[in-house]
Structure 1
Amino acid sequence: MKNIGNKILLTGLGLALSWSFSANHVAAQVAKTKPAKVAGVKALPLDAEVRTGKLPNGFTYYIRHNEEPKKRVTFYLANKVGSVLEDDTQRGLAHFMEHMSFNGTTHFPKNELVNYLQKSGVRFGADLNAYTSFDETVYQLPIPSDNPEILKNGIQIMRDWAHGATLDPTEINKERGVVLEEKRLGKGAQERMMREYFPVILNHSRYSLRLPIGTDEVLNNFKPEAINRYYHDWYRPDLQALIVVGDIDVNEMEKTIKAKFGDLKNPANEKPRTKYTIPLTGKNQFIAVTDKEMTVTVAQVMIKQPALNLITAADYRQSIIRELFKRMIGARYAELQRQANPPFIQGGADLGEFLGGLDNYSLFVVAKPGELESGFKATWRESEKVRRFGFTQTELDRAKTSYLSDMDASLKEKNKTNSDSYVNEYLQYFLKGTAAPGISYEYNLVKNDLPGINLSEVNMLSKSAIKTTNRDVLLLAPEKDKATLPSEATVNSWIAAVEAENLTAYNDEVSKQPLLTAQPTAGKIVSETKDAALGTTTLTLSNGIKVILKPTDFKDNEILFAGSAPGGTSLYSDADYQSASNASGMVSSFGVGNYNPTQLEKYLTGKQLGVSPYISERSQGINGSATPKDLETALELLYGYVTEPRKDADLFTGIIARSKAGLANRANDPGSVFQDTVTAVLGNHSIRRTGPSIAKVEQINLDRAYDIYKDRFADASGMTFTFVGSVDIEKIKPLIEKYIASLPATHKGEEAKDLGIRIPDGQITKAVYMGTEPKATVDLVWSGVFDYTPTEKVTLDALKECLEIRLIERLREDESGVYSPGAYSSAGKLPTPRYSLVVNFGCGPKNVDKLIASTLDEISKLKSAGPTQVNIDKWRAESLRTRETGMRTNGWWLGYISGQTTDKEDLHQFDSYTKELNAVSIESVKAAAQKYLSGKNYIRLVLLPVEGTK
């Protein structure tokens, strides 16, 4: 159900290229046995805070009390079974079985399970979910723990999932369409190429024949007996575990689990759970794959090796060495990418998990058009330097400092760790045997092991990981470049040429200068007011800036902050727009004060902070986070970004070159072309709303971007800052006076300009014909003027949610025409109050008109009769639970206070939220549907394959 894949993800410059095992979630490792003793060496203990046990039938459980968040509990049912166990008649049925667990169980027939949970405030897809991989199937259920009836039924649901699916043949046939639509969503260039190269990189193992999404032939034609057989064979207690973490009584939960799951029985003559692996052949392999919708040329080298199983203390020490290696090699490639003329669009290397009992040293390069050889050699050269010369002592020292700082930050938050983090630890412990001794135990391991890890050990790992055997070279490229792609012999000659070069060892240059060229002259706090009900203190500074402080106890070691002022790119002409819109990202990437970006990265080693200036359409500001210990450094960095930005022509040239190269083949990708079309139509074809292009990149002028950046931050007097988290008000005041009250102020009193860019009125239909796969994407948009009040915002949200519930019930469950339809609403106050409501889904091209008609029919019913009371109740329960949990996070409060301040709205508006929620009725939603979904302003946007595609 989750669309999560194992990926190599290349991000930056808007580029996201990934390969994915299937449209479903796929784990990165084969299931391993539970840790005991390994070669006579004692395994690390399981976290002492978790209660664990195994019932006589083999069923395992893990229970932990945790109050982050309060009044919540998360259940995971883990099954050590997945697609690798399917026989030839069952390909895709491990995943199909996961779907069927939501379509009828002993105590929740048909779709009653989802219906019941929605009434309890659990969101389908967001909270309630599951995934299937090669080796595992996992169900997740977070529910309220303060309602005994809901808690009781939650445990019953887990029992039903363990072995209570009804597998009604009628429901099976209805679900075929849903699963096939999920499979359809995964189709495209990446999926087509993956099916070609997967057998090679998986060494033609069983994994290459068992993609979890399955085959059309099986999904369309399997008999109910086939899935019943899979369920009977594999859903059994000796392969299952229940993980329970949350605000519960551990003793009572253990009693309940023993009573509920103790009667599960393993099948007679049970099948052995074979542990499949990917064999290492000792050979090197090569494959080149092209596709006409591929937008870039990628080369990847994968050097496979036996997995590092994390079970013993010795394993843990090796994992530390590996992490140090990863940090150092990552920094090397980041520095290489910052060159004036970087040799590639992106490049890097990593060492980590692969699949089937293997790990993988992976090196990749996204080449500039026509420059694969130079890009590949540059990437390989950096790896060869690491293999030949290793790292330097100063690099290792920084990596150790960074690693220990991360562990220290985790230790300080150990009492405020979210339940999901614990659940995932115990999940990996059960499935793979990955040690989970707890953060205190791990911290002591690191404190003991880290000082003794020397440079020779890390460099030894470099030599053992970067081997000459079990090496696969994979090339992915646009089809038009097929004739010019190198052969295996050619790529091998590139590798040989680099290895024959007279390379020099890396020189680690570290600056000893202070961050800033000039220290700030502190200002003053001129007034202070407190709001006891809100729990805030508001400071007015001598330069006109306002600072709102909200101390919380949600985290022990976290401060989030944000500051903004009106203005933004709206104050600049269309001719300046590209320079203005890219100014903040561009200038901040040049470093700050005395430090270029590489020096800055080294300077910040071991500090837990992040600071990011931005310039949006209507404002400019700075977002950041820090631990209390590192807050002063974060504020010093903030001051530097405002007063001492850098200009670097060489880095600018490199960024422009990579950006243009990344856009060269953008028009090949149907999804990008469609999204650009949607943006353009909804933006009324303003040049500020059309998609990226090489021509637009060429409009970016370094001097103009730098001047606009400085102009935007020249007057901080209109800014309001908000700090939320582990804030000590008296300790933070001197820092605010030094670094924020000292910011420049000219008191211009600027306001953002209304550019008049609106979603166009009227009825518009636009179809984009592109792509060869039989798949369509539909966006339906309603928009217009909005009565911006708390009541209307809540009612619009109710309308959106009630519509989405009905679309899931009708388009997915009744008509089996889509996988995951969504409805989304937004309501903005500035520059003028307007709303939009969007319905989005993917489907088969032949079903577009039918499914749009069904959507419009559901809207018509909302306008004529309103929603059902039960759907309003579902929305209300979900909203209350979501708000309750959100208000216990620093991020929620930062977003709320900042948003209300920007919109000049009352900060106490949240006090009336429950009242507004309870006031929503069938009639008020019906009236909203008539007002906001009248069809007067309606845009239909559809992506279809090229005509003639079946």
Structure 2
Amino acid sequence: MNVIHWLSRPALLFTAGYTLAALGAQAQKGHKALPLDTAVRTGKLPNGFTYYIRHNEEPKKRVTLYLVNKAGAILETEEQRGLAHFIEHMSFNGTTHFPKNELVNYLQKSGVRFGADLNAYTSYDETVYQLPLPTDNKELLDNGLTIMREWAQEATLDAAEIDKERGVILEEKRLKKGAQDRMMQQFFPVIMNHSRYADRMPIGIDTVLKFSKPETLREFYHDWYRPDLQALIVVGDIDVNEMEQVIKARFSTLVNPKKEKKRVKYTIPLTGKNQFLVVTDPEMPSTSIEIVSKFEQKPVVTEADYRNSIVEMLFNMMLSQRYSELGKQANPPFLKGGAGLQGFLGGLQIFGASAGVASGGLETGVKAVWRELERAKRLGFTQAELDRAKQDYLSKMAAAWKEKNKTGSDVYVKQYMQYFLAGTAVPGLDKEYQLVNAIVPGIAVADINAVLKTYSKNTDRDIIIMAPQKDKAKLPDEATVNGWLHTVEQEPMDAYKDVVADKPLLAAKPAAGKITRTEQITEVGVTKYTLSNGVTVLVKPTTFKNNEIGFTAFAPGGTSLYSDADYQSAVYAPGIIDAGGVGDYNSQQLDKYLSGKQLNVAPFISDRTQGFNGSAAPAELETMLQLVYLFYTAPRKDADLFQNIITRLKGSLANRASDPSSIYNDTVNAVLGNYNVRRTGPTLEKIDQINLDRAYAIYKERFADASNFTFLFVGSVDTAVLKPLLETYLGSLPATHKHEEARDLGIHIPAGVIERNVYSGKEDKATVRLVFSGDYQFSEENNSTLQALAKVINLRLLERLREEEGGVYTPNADVNFNKYPAGRYAFTIGFGCAPANVDKLIASALDEINKLKLNGPEEVNLDKYKAESRASLKTALESNGFWINYINSQYQNNEPLGAIYNKGKLLDAVTVQKVQQAAKDYLGGNNYIRLVSLPEKQ
């Protein structure tokens, strides 16, 4: 577990996708604050309520609403610990106009998905509610604003509903229990400097969750859900003037309490002291160390702050590259390692170094991580490193700027949310693009070198070691670790050697093939090209993004063509080759060559296919295709990187047998895979079966015949530019015209009734998985009916197991089906719960299935499924990712590409009777598997 990652505030995403460390709201003396994005309308009502409104048509006819409260767990009294989060739950369980569960029920009937669309979160300092809605349904939008208004101050907080929700929240808390939670309870007070943050985990404490009085909950709501601490953010395809008038009319009536409590801004104080802690647990899967120095957070408010944030981001990028190279040695000094700056909590930011190591490797790992920091501090970075980082940064910013009119509403909402919560500068993408292009060229190596000197200090430093309990006796004390660091600081050092390749990616263009046939698949806007070597290319130009082309390629075969003895080599072959590089470039050199280029290409070999996935900006399309060509014709075999992969794989298994989730998941996979060796969990013996020469040979075999490959390109494609590139780089690929087909290995879920309990772990928690499976007639109609069946069961499980019985947090019903190698389906129900409730909740789930068989689904639940499906499809059809996945799936299954446009008719055709019959056909008791994880027997 990485303490820094786990505890840190999520990265604050600007449109360019970079982090601006930001807590604070006042411009530094003598510096002018950056202006707020001119595209957003903002205002404050007389009662203190703030609003932000922006017109944005991505996606069209949609709007995203966020209600942001500057009230979180940090404001709770001892008697209220956990109630900020409890109120978040209760806001979905009744408001003035939507009593009890009517709010969720109404929105679901309108096509809004609970959890996926309608959601909320509670943190230390804020509670945020989100609601995306269509804007072409005026009544729904109006009611959505009513819901936001009532979340702000009109949650009913009914005593009976409160008591029902206690069990749900306790089950949510139960899901988090385990080694990481137990260890966190020990290190959390340390890293939080024993401040108020250490005692205000948002999930709360059991005594409060179980026994707090409704009056105590209402008191928190009354004190802190008030307009002077709230903001409504509205971004979407709306009329800004009209929306502003509605907000003024609705939200001006919110009232602040007469005896208003002061909203204290809590912080984590810097003590000037160092702290050291060793934490062990029998279920901790690996050993890691975190060395964390804490600093006051620097606000990003002025142009000078903005420049400083860019310098720090470039520093992080350059330092990360060095650790990446260090981790690619044949015998890496750590399994994971790195260092850098990032935001934290309580007005702090941190500079942290971390290492995850195999058992017995802590000293080597710590010294390796610290040595690179010391090398950078003492000898600095190179101009070439900085140039690459600048190029990469500028390229990403330029790519974001090109997509500015395609930026999703969620991006803007989150920016304005941080502006409201933390005063983070949001100047807008045009202004940022201007600033970046003015600032970055002037940043010098000396600026980067100064960062590490600024953040190097020997106070306010925490060292935390986490390890399996069995290794406790071998772990170092504070003096020993400090001795390791001191030793490294006294070592003589050579400067970093920047190894780059100066050859072209391709020495010469290959002899091009020809496009021999062109066909139009008009119903989906796809052009199909056949090349002279047999390669098939499907192209779907779209306007969903300005600067994005996604691609996939596939051919039948995969690992199915290899024996069990070769299976491990076949599975790991694409990763081994990808790590080795292509042509004259090893992986490190290739990474540097691709700096500043917006593209990626990755080979894969799955059970039944092999191919590539990737993407590129239009300007990098040729480079992407060159990489594809080289992955076919010039893969590299790197013995050092192969050994690196093996070392990491073995290190990851060291304490796997003590990890309850791994034990359970391995058992589930083994049972459902009928104990086929290809479905059982990883072992040292399996890793030893991976052979570099055999993996390389298998990879070459899988990509020896391009004639059986289909390539699919979706996005901002200019076909006039693409066609000659296809002829050059795909038309020239080797083709044997062997046309292999994948084999049916007969691996599927076994028939019959199987019940298996897995006993592992000491927490009082259980995981349940129920699986129904069997033969299946794959068709669009059957698929639609099965998906409806899964949804209506999911809705009923949510209503009964969660809302009525309070026994689970998130039950789930899902179905998978496939056409090849043989028609099969698997229907799965899963949830976590208390061990004492396993049998009762399974009985309830099976009872709901039996009700479906007897009576069919409730019409209202079927209507919810149809509404959600239509809403989801409308959004999906405007996504490149959807079309790549859809066309890929249809093509591989030999199904018509135009079937997607029959989805509406298929939904109309789903009836109560059809779903009832599906429940009878597919959820019988003949092929039923019950898999339950339970704590170890004492």
**TM, length-normalised to structure 1:** 0.97
Equivalent of 1:179, from 151, 169, 172?
169
Residue in 2 that maps onto 1:764: 754
Secondary structure of the structure 2 residue equivalent to 1:41: coil
Residue in 1 that maps onto 2:202: 212
CA distance in 2, matches of 1:782, 1:153: 40
1:714 and 2:682 equivalent? no
Distance 1:877 1:704, change over 3 A: same
CA distance in 1, matches of 2:862, 2:257: 44
Equivalent of 2:659, from 662, 665, 669?
669
Structure 2 counterparts to residues 374-389 of structure 1, below 5 A: 374-389=364-379
Give the superposition deviation at 1:532: 2.8
1:562 and 2:545 equivalent? no
CA distance in 2, matches of 1:671, 1:30: 35
Give the length in aligned residue pairs: 930
One-letter identity of the residue aligned with 1:335: E
Deviations 1:635-685 (A, max 9, x none): 111111111100011111111011101111111110011001000000000
Distance 1:279 1:21, change over 3 A: same
Equivalent of 1:248, from 230, 238, 256?
238
Single out whichever of 380-389 and 488-497 deviates more from structure 2.
380-389
Equivalent of 1:876, from 845, 866, 870?
866
Would the aligned equivalents of 2:551 and 2:614 in 1 still touch at CA under 8 Å? yes
CA distance in 2, matches of 1:65, 1:693: 54
1:852 and 2:836 equivalent? no
Equivalent of 2:813, from 809, 814, 823?
823
Runs of 4+ in 1 over 3 A off after TM superposition: 5-9, 18-22, 28-33, 35-38, 516-519
1:223 and 2:213 equivalent? yes
CA distance in 2, matches of 1:466, 1:787: 65
Residue in 1 that maps onto 2:828: 838
CA distance in 1, matches of 2:732, 2:344: 51
1:306 and 2:296 equivalent? yes
Residue in 2 that maps onto 1:407: 397
Distance 1:464 1:20, change over 3 A: closer
Residue in 2 that maps onto 1:84: 74
Structure 2 counterparts to residues 304-703 of structure 1, below 5 A: 304-516=294-506, 519-703=509-693
One-letter identity of the residue aligned with 2:631: Y
CA distance in 2, matches of 1:858, 1:691: 33
Would the aligned equivalents of 1:550 and 1:724 in 2 still touch at CA under 8 Å? yes
One-letter identity of the residue aligned with 2:33: A
CA distance in 1, matches of 2:933, 2:83: 30
Equivalent of 2:767, from 755, 761, 777?
777
Give the superposition deviation at 1:845: 0.3
Give the superposition deviation at 1:310: 1.1
1:289 and 2:279 equivalent? yes
Deviations 1:733-777 (A, max 9, x none): 011111111111000011000000010011100000001110000
Equivalent of 2:110, from 120, 123, 130?
120
1:258 and 2:258 equivalent? no
Secondary structure of the structure 1 residue equivalent to 2:260: coil
Would the aligned equivalents of 1:30 and 1:277 in 2 still touch at CA under 8 Å? no
Give the superposition deviation at 1:37: 4.1
One-letter identity of the residue aligned with 1:281: T
One-letter identity of the residue aligned with 1:346: K
Give the superposition deviation at 1:41: 2.5
Residue in 2 that maps onto 1:730: 720
Distance 1:45 1:19, change over 3 A: closer
Secondary structure of the structure 2 residue equivalent to 1:302: strand
Q: Structure 2 regions of 5+ residues with no counterpart?
A: 11-18
Would the aligned equivalents of 2:511 and 2:732 in 1 still touch at CA under 8 Å? yes
CA distance in 2, matches of 1:233, 1:49: 34
Give the superposition deviation at 1:40: 4.2
Deviations 1:329-368 (A, max 9, x none): 0100000000111011111112110111111111110112
1:131 and 2:121 equivalent? yes
Residue in 2 that maps onto 1:95: 85
1:902 and 2:892 equivalent? yes
Secondary structure of the structure 2 residue equivalent to 1:38: coil
Distance 1:332 1:37, change over 3 A: closer
Deviations 1:240-282 (A, max 9, x none): 0000111111111111100110010110120111000011111
1:787 and 2:769 equivalent? no
One-letter identity of the residue aligned with 1:398: R
Residue in 1 that maps onto 2:854: 864
Give the share of equivalent positions with the same residue, in percent: 60
Residue in 2 that maps onto 1:14: none
Give the superposition deviation at 1:20: 8.7
1:54 and 2:53 equivalent? no
**TM, length-normalised to structure 2:** 0.98
Secondary structure of the structure 2 residue equivalent to 1:717: helix
Secondary structure of the structure 1 residue equivalent to 2:523: coil
Equivalent of 1:935, from 918, 925, 930?
925
One-letter identity of the residue aligned with 1:512: D
Secondary structure of the structure 2 residue equivalent to 1:125: coil
Deviations 1:457-480 (A, max 9, x none): 110011112322211100000000
1:269 and 2:251 equivalent? no
One-letter identity of the residue aligned with 1:396: L
Secondary structure of the structure 1 residue equivalent to 2:431: helix
One-letter identity of the residue aligned with 2:913: E
Distance 1:547 1:414, change over 3 A: same
CA distance in 1, matches of 2:498, 2:399: 27
Would the aligned equivalents of 2:35 and 2:425 in 1 still touch at CA under 8 Å? yes
Give the superposition deviation at 1:36: 5.6
Single out whichever of 510-519 and 906-915 deviates more from structure 2.
510-519
Secondary structure of the structure 1 residue equivalent to 2:524: coil
Would the aligned equivalents of 1:684 and 1:758 in 2 still touch at CA under 8 Å? yes
Give the superposition deviation at 1:705: 0.3
1:63 and 2:75 equivalent? no
CA distance in 2, matches of 1:252, 1:495: 62
Deviations 1:375-395 (A, max 9, x none): 111111111111211211100
Deviations 1:786-815 (A, max 9, x none): 111100000000000000000000000000
CA distance in 2, matches of 1:576, 1:410: 44
Would the aligned equivalents of 1:29 and 1:357 in 2 still touch at CA under 8 Å? no
Give the superposition deviation at 1:448: 0.6
One-letter identity of the residue aligned with 1:464: T
Give the superposition deviation at 1:872: 0.5
Secondary structure of the structure 2 residue equivalent to 1:533: helix
Residue in 2 that maps onto 1:147: 137
One-letter identity of the residue aligned with 1:813: E
Secondary structure of the structure 1 residue equivalent to 2:907: helix
Give the superposition deviation at 1:516: 3.2
Deviations 1:419-472 (A, max 9, x none): 111111111111111111111110100011111111111100111123222111
Give the superposition deviation at 1:38: 3.5
One-letter identity of the residue aligned with 1:717: S
One-letter identity of the residue aligned with 1:93: L
